[in-house]
Amino acid sequence: MLIYGGTFLISVLSFFTTYQGLVIFLDTPLAIIGSLGIQTAMLGIAWNLMRLKSHRLTYVAVFSIVAIFSVFFSYANFNSSLKGNTRAQSARAAYTSDARPVAGEYAAAAKLARSQGEYQVGRIADLIDMEQTKGWATVVDEGSNDPFIQSVIDGARRTVVSWEKNQGNDYRQGAGQGIIVNYLNSWGDRISSNVRLMEVYVGLVDSILMELDSDRPVGEQYQAVNYAAVRFPLSAYSMITSSDAELPPPPLTANYIETPANGQQALMLVIKDLYPMDRLTLFSLLFAIAIDLVVVAMALCGSHMIDDIDLVFSRLEKDASQRLRDLPLNDTEAMSASLRENIERMRKASEYSRDLNQVLEEHRQTRDSLILTRGPEPTGKGEGPKLLVSRSDSDVRY
């Protein structure tokens, strides 16, 4: 009774752990029905597995499938409970680790454009000084060494040509202020404005990088990085570098779940945690296996005890069937002798069972501890097994 009672209590514990795992994915009524069905099937098969005489492999297969479900949902319960506090922190830390390089690429692109723009501002200033002092700005030919400055010089020359067409006479280039200096100043102002935009943006990204840490929720981190992506000065970058910016998008929050929003997300998380497996996941899985393993072991022990009580009759039936199968059908004398022997064995077993039940009934009220021991073999012909009684201070021996 203690074994059966303990098995039932641990099975109740397994029921609640399985229920808590099922309720993560299913509604409460369905979770209760599913958990009750799983535990009833496990306990019923385990209690009777030792006594089954046919289709045992089928029952073992069914039991294995049910046990896998029970272990998995118990594991889901333990895993979700143990990682309830650490999962959010892990998701935030992972997002911070992946978002920092992305924001860093934004800042690196802006710094590169800023540096290139500062160089261009300096070169345009040199051209302005050259034009104002000597009138040589359009005389200089940079060639392919500096495509940007070459494009500025070519633009200045086109400005002169356009002026000559509109005025109808030649433009006399010389020192001092003129249309070339005005053209160069406009270019310098535009590049300087773009450099300032890059400078402001670099400061913005640096401040965002300082604020990115694992204490902030994933959603807030995404908003900060996405703000940096949206605010990137694309036109200024294109004007300075003469190319389009190729910037990576911010990491999506769907891959960094702090708290499951629904049962499907929760199921995917507990499955995903199985590989690679950390210590908390391993502990959750082993704990779930241990609970059901104890239930199975104790139920099998109870089943084995019941089998021991009926051992005399079950072995008798097995031996009789075996002897009958081994006899030739045309040997009537051997068949008759075997039947007489089986009948005699059945009579002896009945007497033994009657005596055993009588002894159990006598000591049921006193709750004595009964120990069955093998007595001496019968000496008289036709004499059946006898129950030998010996009493000690703590138990009664037979």
* 194 and 285 share one domain: no
* 29 and 176 share one domain: no
* 176 and 219 share one domain: yes
**Structure tokens of 63?**
């039991």
* 195 and 95 share one domain: yes
- Average pLDDT over the chain, rounded to an integer: 81
What pTM value is reported for the model? 0.60
Given a cut of 60, is residue 101 above it in pLDDT?
A: yes
Angle (deg, nearest 10), helices 332-362 and 311-326: 180
What sign results for the dihedral spanned by CA atoms 80, 86, 92, 93?
negative
* 283 and 187 share one domain: no
Does 40 or 344 have the greater pLDDT score? 40
φ/ψ of residue 288, rounded to 5: -65, -40
Q: 224, 255, 286 — which closes off a domain?
A: 255
Nearest to 217 by CA among 104, 87, 103: 87
* 286 and 209 share one domain: no
Helices marked H in 212-249 — which ranges? Answer: 218-230, 234-241
* 334 and 370 share one domain: yes
Nearest to 373 by CA among 396, 392, 349, 357: 396
Per-residue pLDDT tens over the stretch 125-173? 988 888 888 887 777 776 557 788 888 888 888 888 888 888 877 777 7
* 124 and 189 share one domain: yes
In Å, what is the CA distance from 147 to each residue of 113, 314, 347? Answer: 15, 101, 115
Q: 303, 332, 366 — which closes off a domain?
A: 303
Residue range(s) defining the domain that contains residue 243: 88-255
Q: What is the DSSP letter of 174?
A: -
Q: 220, 255, 290 — which closes off a domain?
A: 255
Per-residue pLDDT tens over the stretch 232-284? 999 999 989 988 988 999 999 988 888 887 777 888 888 888 888 888 889 99
Euclidean distance between CA atoms 270 and 279, whole angstroms: 14
* 92 and 199 share one domain: yes
pLDDT at 393: 46
Band (40; pLDDT cuts 50, 70, 90)? confident
Number of structural domains (the chain) is 3
Euclidean distance between CA atoms 155 and 127, whole angstroms: 13
* 165 and 228 share one domain: yes
* 114 and 251 share one domain: yes
Does 49 or 29 have the greater pLDDT score? 29
Can you tell me which residue has the tokens 């229920």?
A: 19
* 282 and 348 share one domain: no
Strand (E) or helix (H) holding 176: none
Euclidean distance between CA atoms 340 and 349, whole angstroms: 14
pLDDT at 255: 85
